[in-house]
Structure 1
Amino acid sequence: MQPKLPIQCPSCENALSVTQLSCGNCSTIVSGNYSLPLLLQISEEEQNFILQFFLSSGSLKEMASQMGNSYPTVRNKLDDIIQKIKNLTPSP
């Protein structure tokens, strides 16, 4: 099992940033202060929901059937994730 990438500080729960990347082939190391990609800033449950939405070709009706939930429940979950992503996205 591969370890899960942490996205929050275990001490203060603030968002973590990537400060170092390394190449397993040539051992090159790149340092800096990079933010996590947007989809890594949401919970694993929300990531799985988005993946299921994608795999069901965007059919909330199909997702509701697979999840054993009502269409409005699944729609509300999607709306919540959309709002969370909008809040994470910087305004132009």
Structure 2
Amino acid sequence: MNPKLPINCPSCENALSVSQLTCSNCHTSVSGNYALPLLLQIPEEEQNFILQFFLSSGSLKEMAVQMGKSYPTVRNKLDDIIEKINQLKNQNK
């Protein structure tokens, strides 16, 4: 099992940022203070929903069948994720 990437500080709940990236091949490191990519700032469940949406070629109807949920339920979930991403996008400006 891969550890989950934390997106919030376990102490104060503020957003975490990336401070170092390392090449697994040559071990070169790059340091700085970088924001997490927008899609990594949402919970894993919502990331998985977006991935499933992409893999089903954007068909909410197909997703509803795969998930065993109604089309309106799946549509509402997508709308909620879109709203959350728009809020994050506005915060990151």
- Indicate whether the TM-score tops 0.5: yes
More deviation, 24-33/72-81 = 24-33
Task: Give ranges in structure 1 of 5+ residues lacking alignment.
Answer: none
Shift of 1:14: 1.2
Q: Which residue of 2 aligns with 1:7?
A: 7
Residue 3 of structure 1 aligns with an amino acid whose one-letter code is P
- The correspondence of residues 38-77 of structure 1 with structure 2, limited to 5 A, is 38-77=38-77
Give CA-to-partner distance per residue, 1:45-76, whole Å, 9 cap, x none.
00010011111111111111111111111000
Residues paired across the two proteins, number = 92
Q: Which residue of 1 aligns with 2:26?
A: 26
RMSD: 1.5
Residue 20 of structure 2 aligns with an amino acid whose one-letter code is Q
Measured in 1, the distance between the counterparts of 2:31 and 2:37 equals 17
Task: Give ranges in structure 2 of 5+ residues lacking alignment.
Answer: none
TM-score, structure 1 as length reference:
0.91
Q: Which structure 1 residue ranges, 4+ long, deviate > 4 Å from structure 2?
A: none
Shift of 1:16: 0.3
TM-score, structure 2 as length reference:
0.90
